[in-house]
Structure 1
Amino acid sequence: MTPIERLFERLPELPTIPAIVQELIASLGRDDVDLASLIAKVREDQSLSARVLRLANSPYYAGRKSVGSIEDAVAMIGLNALRAIVIASGVAGAISKVEGISLPDFWKHSQLTARLASSLGKLAGLNKEFAYAAGLLHRIGQLLIQIVVPEIGNKVLAECRNLSVGELAALERLHLTFDHSQVSAELARKWFFPEEIVGALAFYTRPEQEGATPYAGIVNLAASIAFGIEKGQPDEVILSHINHRVVTQLGLEEVDWPEELAKMREAAGAGETLYA
């Protein structure tokens, strides 16, 4: 049994997601979704419905127009955005409490990373939905580590203030022999996310390593930029911290970064609350 398998064996229970979320995960990248069936199933789950409507009414999605029903949400934001909201809501609801971690702050960062990954994915000519889902899940393994081995999780949290994504993962490997990205990938595999997303999660902390996919690079950039925006760093500091080899690999050298960062800061300011 591998160390990661032992970690999952020690979980009190495997986090679960609603059946409708599993269905939508299986449909990622496809447009042939039965909308009537989707709406009916979301409505059946009151907790999920409440989350979806709250997110659909956030400034990022709805602006000034109020969304009063799941049908309104579909009409307002479209299938792909609704699918993203339902998946995000289901994933965020899978873990209700983690000692030592503020879940509202955790999901705020994850949601911002997801939105930035979607934007970067579009610029790189990749599937935006895959990029969004990978960004959303990129740190969920940290929650499982904190649940199973809180003494190590707390030690890492105390030591990793202001560290980069790669340095945080290296610190975890020092204490555990594996890092949160590998745990995130294993949970995504158990939840039957597409292999493109599983691979992105497994390698996002080491996007230049052999076997890493372009989606790993997208998530690495998105997480780094999200961290800088949340810290209030100026553009030049954010850009000095991103992995420029990954920028080149993804063909993003010619991007107007000041313009894109302005859009990303706007997205951060219109962020919604996944966890409440």
Structure 2
Amino acid sequence: MVNLESFFASVKLPSMSEVAHALIQTLSDDDTSVPQVRDLIAKDPALSAKLLRLANSAQFGLPRGVGTLDDAITMVGMSKVRTLALGACLSESFPNLPDLDRKEFWRSSMACAGYAQWLANRLGIDGQLAWLTGMMLRLGELLIAQADPATLREIEKLPHLPGVRWQREQRLIGFTEGQITAELARRWNFPMQMVQALQRSADPITEQAFSRLGAVMHLAGLLAETENAGPDTVDSLPAEVIAALGLDADWLRTRFPDTSTFLDVTT
């Protein structure tokens, strides 16, 4: 087994656009203004068009059409537009890999993002930050695929029950996809809150410093991996993580989200 430093020395990091890097910097800047975000996104016409298409989608249900970035930011909110822009940039930064079903990978990632935002909103955690962190959770697996395709095939083999992939990663390479993504996020200068949550996502309870966002990632990741997840799925979630977050299982069952309402920035 190798350590994370050696692992990263063996892979080629995906290239992030100049716009994406600039948007990442604004995540840690409380003084970021609407014109700053608008002007950054406007530098990428394809990204701008994609965001306008998303803003006009049924998931937002806006009362009128959105024709400009200014309209999108006014009607959807700067934080959400920025998060969606970063999500779109990230999904396009990684190449197709022969040993991974790209469509299923991003479906799972979008589901994880949606569940993470749902849980975060209930807990008073920044929902946009949770959405982006949830979307990124599995990115480390794309680097595993690049470094060692044979190991990826072993990790992905069926049966594939929720949480099993993390166990296989830990056994085969010594760390999880979340820990790899955390290091990637650190190198890309994402906020430390996101880095720590990703580091602790596979095992949030036994980590020395409890991360509420990390525990949210744990639950969201399990839900995203559950086929046909619904209210009854709550019974299979780890009770100790639910308790540590102060969530109520009955509330989770009665307010379980409809995944068809989750946004997808990868299409």
TM-score (norm 1): 0.87
Distance across 1 between alignment mates of 2:82 and 2:251: 29
Task: Determine if the alignment matches structure 1 residue 177 to structure 2 residue 174.
Answer: yes
Distance across 1 between alignment mates of 2:188 and 2:264: 23
Q: Which amino acid aligns with 1:196?
A: Q
The number of residue pairs the alignment matches comes to 266
Q: Give the secondary structure class of the aligned counterpart of 1:27.
A: helix
Task: Determine if the alignment matches structure 1 residue 270 to structure 2 residue 261.
Answer: yes
1:191 matched residue in structure 2: 188
Deviation of 1:134 after TM superposition, in Å, equals 1.5
Distance across 1 between alignment mates of 2:105 and 2:59: 18
Deviation of 1:30 after TM superposition, in Å, equals 5.6
Greater Cα offset, 139-148 or 25-34 = 25-34
Deviation of 1:73 after TM superposition, in Å, equals 1.3
Task: Determine if the alignment matches structure 1 residue 257 to structure 2 residue 252.
Answer: yes
Distance across 2 between alignment mates of 1:124 and 1:208: 17
2:213 matched residue in structure 1: 215
Extract unaligned runs of 5+ from structure 1.
none
Deviation of 1:256 after TM superposition, in Å, equals 1.5
Tell whether the 8 Å contact from 2:114 to 2:262 is kept in structure 1 after alignment: no
Greater Cα offset, 126-135 or 192-201 = 126-135
C-alpha distance 64-152 of structure 1, shift in aligned 2 (>3 A): farther
2:240 matched residue in structure 1: 245
Deviation of 1:88 after TM superposition, in Å, equals 0.6
2:201 matched residue in structure 1: 204
Q: Give the secondary structure class of the aligned counterpart of 1:206.
A: coil
1:157 matched residue in structure 2: 156
Distance across 2 between alignment mates of 1:118 and 1:273: 13
Distance across 2 between alignment mates of 1:173 and 1:6: 16
Distance across 1 between alignment mates of 2:54 and 2:107: 12
Q: Give the secondary structure class of the aligned counterpart of 2:262.
A: coil
Greater Cα offset, 182-191 or 106-115 = 106-115
Greater Cα offset, 22-31 or 249-258 = 22-31
Q: Which amino acid aligns with 1:258?
A: R
Spell out, residue by residue over 1:197-255, the C-alpha distance to the aligned partner (whole angstroms, 9 max, x if none). Answer: 11111111101112341111111111222333xx224422x112211111111111266
Greater Cα offset, 189-198 or 104-113 = 104-113
Identity, % of aligned positions? 25
Distance across 1 between alignment mates of 2:244 and 2:55: 34
Tell whether the 8 Å contact from 1:135 to 1:223 is kept in structure 2 after alignment: yes
Distance across 2 between alignment mates of 1:210 and 1:232: 30
1:4 matched residue in structure 2: 4
C-alpha distance 103-76 of structure 1, shift in aligned 2 (>3 A): farther
C-alpha distance 55-126 of structure 1, shift in aligned 2 (>3 A): same
Tell whether the 8 Å contact from 2:185 to 2:195 is kept in structure 1 after alignment: yes
Deviation of 1:6 after TM superposition, in Å, equals 2.1
Distance across 1 between alignment mates of 2:220 and 2:228: 15
Q: Which amino acid aligns with 1:103?
A: R
Tell whether the 8 Å contact from 1:146 to 1:153 is kept in structure 2 after alignment: yes
Distance across 2 between alignment mates of 1:42 and 1:233: 35
